[in-house]
Amino acid sequence: MDMKDKTQLRLRLVFLGAAGVGKTALIQRFLADKFEPKHRRTVEELHSKEYEFGGLKVTVEIMDTSGSYSFPAMRKLSIQSSDAFALVYAIDDPESLEAVKSLRDEILEIKADKYTPIVVVGNKTDRESERQVPSEDVLSTVELDWNGSFLEASAKENDNVLEVFRELLQQANLPNRLSPALRRRRETFPKDTGLRPPMNKTNSCTIS
């Protein structure tokens, strides 16, 4: 492994859900702080954003997928290549929650790992008056039965969007993934100079 590999980490997040639930809107709000009210059909788009944690470069890839079930092979490939999943439904669309349940089953089957990081997102809380999916029911299912994380958000109002991405990174165990990489990076410092890292620092990195 060369020096570049030691100081870089790549993490892929994928957003899945029925058509029109706001997957693209959540991603666009996070990346560009903008909201496009008109629904635009997505086939598949990959966004990339680079962050730096304690001198370590982390490339976070965000995959926006189609809500259509006409692309099963593409969806399977997206699942195979991703580290953490946001399963999005709309609080005014009960059928979109059923899609989330099916997608979770598909993820667990493809990944063959019941501990795969999954965050369920109830989007469109700005439509509270039209709510048809009680948050208490979803919370109980996701946290007790699925052992996952659940958040509600509004891409339109920019409510809880940042928290969705923060939770995805936490579920993907980014802080723990960073620790050994940061440790390797520090071991490359010359031993006979003043460049050694301070001894009272920990190797873990917290996302703020």
Measured in degrees and rounded to the nearest 5, phi and psi for residue 117 equal -65, 115
Number of domains in the chain: 1
What is the model's pLDDT at position 155?
96
Strands 44-53, 56-65: pairing kind: antiparallel
Tell me which residue of 17, 44, 8, 47 sits closest to 30, measured CA to CA: 47
Q: Is residue 35 part of a domain?
A: yes
- What CATH number should be reported for the domain holding residue 151? 3.40.50.300
Domain that holds residue 81: 3-180
Pairing status of strand 149-152 against strand 118-123: parallel
Residue 204 maps to a domain: no
pLDDT value, residue 8: 67
List average pLDDT for each run of 10 residues in the chain, which is 208 residues long.
53 93 94 79 79 80 76 81 95 97 94 91 97 96 92 96 92 74 50 39 39
Asked whether residue 203 is assigned to any structural domain, the reply reads no
pLDDT of residue 30: 92
- pLDDT of 186 reads 47
Q: Which residues pair with 179 in a beta bridge?
A: none
Q: Is residue 193 part of a domain?
A: no
> Shortest CA distance to 118 belongs to which of 102, 109, 107?
107
| Full-model pTM | 0.78
